[in-house]
Structures are given as C-alpha cells and as structure tokens.
Amino acid sequence: MKFLIVLVIVLVIVALAQLMKVYELSSKLRNKDEADVTLGETKFNAGMLLVFYLTLMISSTWMFFHYGPRPGLEISASEHGNDIDFLYDANWIILLTVFYLTQTLLFVFAIKYQKKKGRKAVFFAHSTKLELVWTIIPAVTLAGIIIGGLLVWNKITTPVENAEVIEIYAQQFGWNARYAGEDNTLGNSDFKVIETNNPLGVVTSALIDTKEKLWKEEIEKIEKQIKEEGELTPDDKLEEMVEKVERLKRQIIRLEPLRRAQTPETDLAANDDVIVKELYLVKGKDYEFKFRSRDVIHSALFPHFRAQMNCVPGMETRFTFKPTISTAEMRKMPEVIAQYEKTNEKRVVQGKEEVEFNYVLLCNKICGSSHYNMQMNIVVVDTQEEFDTWYAEQKKSKTFPILVGLEEPAKEEDKTEETIVETVMDSTAVAQVQ
C-alpha cells in the first residue's frame, strides 16, 4: 500500500513534467509571452467564473432549502429558544440578501469586464457619494442587527425569580446534576472534599469533621510507619511517604475556611440536595442552572434548548431557561419522526441499535480524549407528578449515600479516581442506550 501511494505520486509528477515540457516547447515555438493572458485563456476563465458562480448560487440555495437554518433542531424546546430562532431567521434574510447581491456583483463584473483588445478601463478612482452609501447602508443595517440581538440577549441573561435551581457539575468525561431540594438552595460544595461517593464535593459540618479525623488518622499511621520502618524503606519510597503526610497536613489546614463557611442553615441546605446522573425537567417551569467543573473547562451545550454555558474550574456560571416541549411531545412532532425514521433506517443497515428522540446535554469545549462522548440524558416530563415520582426514586437511591446518610461516610479511600470515571462513563452509556 505504502509502495502504491509512492508510485502513484511519482507517476503523477512524471506525467506533469512531461506535459509541461510539451507545453513549454509549443509555447516557445509560438514565441508567446507567458505573462500575457491569451484570448483562449480569457474565454476559458470567464466561462469557469460563470459556471462557478452559478454552481455557488444554486448549491447554496439548495442547501438552505434542504437543510434549513437548523438541520435536525428545527423545533426549539425552550421559551427563549423561539426568540433566538426568530432572530436567526431575521438575520439570515438580511445576510443571504447581501450574500446573493454582492457575489452576483463580484462575479458579473469579473466576467463582464474581461480583457478585450482595444478596451481601455474607465479611470474611476473614487466617489465620495458612493462610498458614503456603502458606509451608511451597512451601518444602518448593523444598527438594526445589534439592537435586535441585544434585546434578546438582555431578555435571556436577566435572572428569573423563583426559578428552580439545578447544579450541573462537569468532570472528565461526564456530568452530574444536583437538585437543590425542597428549600431550593444548594448546599456548599468544595473540590477538596470530593471522593468516590461525594462526586460534587458537597460540604456539611459532619463531613468536615469526619474528613479531618480520617486524615489525622492516616497521618498518624504513616508517621508511625516512617518511625518504625523508616531506616529499611528505600529513599524514594520514604520521600513519597513524607510528601503524603505534608499533603494531608496541608489539606487539613485548607479545611478551616470550609468549616468557617458552614452554618446550620448550609448544613440543612446540603442535606436535602439530590445528586443524579440523568436530568428530569418539568415542562413550563423556569430552571436556573449553575455550572461548575472539577478539572478542566467544559461547556454544557443543550442544542434543543438553544442554551450553552462554559463550566470553569474555580468559578460558577449560570444559565436560565424554561423547557416548553416535553420529550413525549417532541417524539410526536412530524419533523422529529421524519428525522429519526431516516436515522434508524441507516442505523439498521449499519447494524446499530435503533434510537428514539431524546434531549441531550453534551460537552462543547475540548476537554480531553473522551470529549466526544461526554453526555447526559435529559427528560422533560409533562407534569409535576411524573417528576415527583422520579425524584422520590432518586432520593431513595443509594448511589450517593453521602447526602442521605452523612452519619456513615464510606471509607473507600483506596478506591482510585479512575473507577469513578468508569462509573460515570458506564452510567452515561446506559443513559444513551435508553
């Protein structure tokens, strides 16, 4: 294969070289000036310009009709999404008009004023009037675009009162979501207390005490070990142990600010939080999403809801939206049915499982090797009752006992981070299959 590729390249080059030789000899015979564009060349290129222009116009028009301005995402599932879609349509009308107009002028002029013997170009160096026209017209159009855009922008970014708070927490390569519970207030959280069964690092006073105790015990253990076996252990191992002790000591010191931030209210706020791996939303309810990340920057993209926000380690970002169409309703939309019929036809041929429409949250900021598969399933239900049934189930779930039973923190210190990632990946895989 390698040989074949090289052979083809070599052959192409040889063929080109031969062609060039023939061409050069013949043009030398005719004593042609290489710089001068001949009549034949002018005709050829003018024809090509025309063909290209027509192809560009026809194919771009066809694509706009065939794919539309939001292929596969025709229906906005959120309230503000309709405003965005409307703004898109308005902008596309302006932009496409300008596109067709200017490309037409460009290509028509380029073709029409091709070189002709005896023609002298018109000496037309400037015209203040014309220049003013094409400064003012774009300026006015842009003013319209800016005003339209900012009106919707302000509407989207204005906080909504009494929205239900949900935290979205990103990590390589999965999502966790935390419902704020009955009080609609999220408990404090901190990356330093993250562990397998507390993936969001939710903080309570009890947890801080337990952590401190555990870490102190571990320090004691290692220090004892150093004392007893220190002389027998190899240097690098010993160094590692000393380092670990120092790290733990630092961590204990860094717990102090957390402890100070903790009040009985925040403890209560944390205790009714519920962590889930799949997002359930109720149609017609306002949601305020708060985004955080534990490792690198991620971006939470909700394509069907026209929402996106970065998740940045060390800070909290927000986005508010109101879902307006439930998953069940969406599955009955003719556009969606048509799209998924086609999709499934192909999937069957490819030997893949058939799929149903689902809302999805995906990562849209490069975050590492599995960036392309970092997702969370979203279900929009029609009624509060449906949601409550699911929510009650989640509360009972023992997946994250730390929140339900803070009294009994697990002692899985040796469980590595990789296994967490695995479980996250597993559950998203499950969500996808569903």
Partner 1 sequence: MGAHTHEEGHHHHESFITKYLFSQDHKMISKQFLITAMVMGIVAVILSVLFRLQIAWPNEQFEAMKFFLGDSYLSEDGLLKPDRYLAIVTIHGTIMVFFVLTGGLSGTFSNLLIPLQIGARDMASGLLNMLSFWLFFLSSVIMIYSLMVESGPASAGWTVYPPLSILEKAIPGSGTGMTLWLLSMTLFIASSLLGALNYIVTILNLRTIGMKMTRLPLTIWAFFVTAILGVLSFPVLVSAVLLLLMDKSFGTSFYLSDIFIGGEALDASGGSPILYQHLFWFLGHPEVYIVLLPALGITSEIVSTNARKPIFGYRAMIGSILAIGFLSFIVWGHHMFITGMNPFIGGIFVFTTLLIAIPSAVKAFNYITTLWKGNIHYTPAMLFSIGLVSTFITGGLTGIILADATLDIPVHDTYFVVAHFHIVMGLSAIFGMFAGVYHWFPKMYGRLMNKKLGYAHFWLTLVSGYGVFFPMHFVGLAGAPRRYYSNTEFAFLDHIQDLNEVITIFAIIGGIAQLIFFYNFFHSMYHGRVTTQNPWRSNTLEWTTPVKPIHGNWPGALPVVHRWPYDYSNPDHEDDFVPQDVPLKEGEHSH
Q: Helices in 167-283 by DSSP H: which ranges?
A: 205-229, 235-261, 264-271
* Site of tokens 């091709």: 114
Binding marks (x or -) toward partner 1, 175..204, rule CB under 8 A? ---------------xxx-x------x---
Q: List the one residue from 29, 33, 161, 260 that touches partner 1 (CB under 8 A).
A: 33
Q: List the one residue from 220, 372, 405, 430 that touches partner 1 (CB under 8 A).
A: 372
**Nearer Cβ to partner 1 (261/372):** 372
Beta-bridge mates of residue 375: 362
Binding marks (x or -) toward partner 1, 68..87, rule CB under 8 A? -xxxxx---------xx--x
Helix (H, G, I), strand (E, B) or coil at 300: strand
Q: List the one residue from 10, 54, 113, 263 that touches partner 1 (CB under 8 A).
A: 113
Q: Give helix 205-229 / helix 235-261 axis angle, nearest 10°.
A: 160
Q: Which two tokens stand for residue 161?
A: 């009162």
Residue 368 binds to partner 1 (criterion: CB under 8 A): yes
**Nearest-angstrom CA–CA distance, 140 and 298:** 37
**Nearer Cβ to partner 1 (33/231):** 33
**Nearer Cβ to partner 1 (221/230):** 221
Residue 381 binds to partner 1 (criterion: CB under 8 A): no
Question: Which helix (H) or strand (E) covers residue 160, if one does?
Answer: none
**Nearer Cβ to partner 1 (181/327):** 327
Residue 214 binds to partner 1 (criterion: CB under 8 A): no
Residue 44 binds to partner 1 (criterion: CB under 8 A): yes
Residue 29 binds to partner 1 (criterion: CB under 8 A): no
Residue 369 binds to partner 1 (criterion: CB under 8 A): yes
**Nearer Cβ to partner 1 (138/230):** 138
Residue 310 binds to partner 1 (criterion: CB under 8 A): yes
Question: Residue 292: is it exposed, middle or buried by C-beta count within 10 angstroms (0-12/13-18/19+)?
Answer: buried
**Nearer Cβ to partner 1 (372/410):** 372
157 φ/ψ angles, rounded to the nearest 5 degrees = -90, -5
Binding marks (x or -) toward partner 1, 383..412, rule CB under 8 A? ------------------------------
Residue 222 binds to partner 1 (criterion: CB under 8 A): no
Residue 370 binds to partner 1 (criterion: CB under 8 A): yes
**Nearer Cβ to partner 1 (423/432):** 432
The answer to whether 271 touches 187, Cβ cutoff 8 Å, is: yes
- How many of the other CB atoms lie within 10 Å of CB of 369? 8
Beta-bridge mates of residue 168: 177, 291
Strand 287-293 relative to strand 298-302, pairing: unpaired
Q: List the one residue from 77, 165, 172, 379 that touches partner 1 (CB under 8 A).
A: 172
Q: CA 106, 112, 114, 117: dihedral to nearest 10 degrees?
A: -160
CB of 383 to partner 1, least distance (A): 25
Nearest to 313 by CA among 192, 418, 422: 192
Question: Residue 266: is it exposed, middle or buried by C-beta count within 10 angstroms (0-12/13-18/19+)?
Answer: middle
**Nearer Cβ to partner 1 (112/227):** 112
Distance of CA 1 to the CA centre of its chain: 38
CB of 355 to partner 1, least distance (A): 4
Query: 132-151: which residues touch partner 1 (CB under 8 A)?
Result: 134-135, 138-139, 142, 145-146, 149-150
Q: Which two tokens stand for residue 63?
A: 């694509």
Q: List the one residue from 373, 394, 397, 423 that touches partner 1 (CB under 8 A).
A: 373
**Nearer Cβ to partner 1 (135/383):** 135
Residue 125 binds to partner 1 (criterion: CB under 8 A): yes
Sheet containing 174-179: give its strands across: 274-276, 174-179, 164-171, 287-293, 317-321
- How many of the other CB atoms lie within 10 Å of CB of 203? 24
Residue 341 binds to partner 1 (criterion: CB under 8 A): no
Query: 268-297: which residues touch partner 1 (CB under 8 A)?
Result: 291, 294-297
**Nearer Cβ to partner 1 (136/392):** 136
Distances (CA, A) of 343 to 63, 168, 181, 301, 414: 19, 30, 38, 22, 44
Q: List the one residue from 263, 384, 389, 416 that touches partner 1 (CB under 8 A).
A: 416
**Nearer Cβ to partner 1 (45/266):** 45
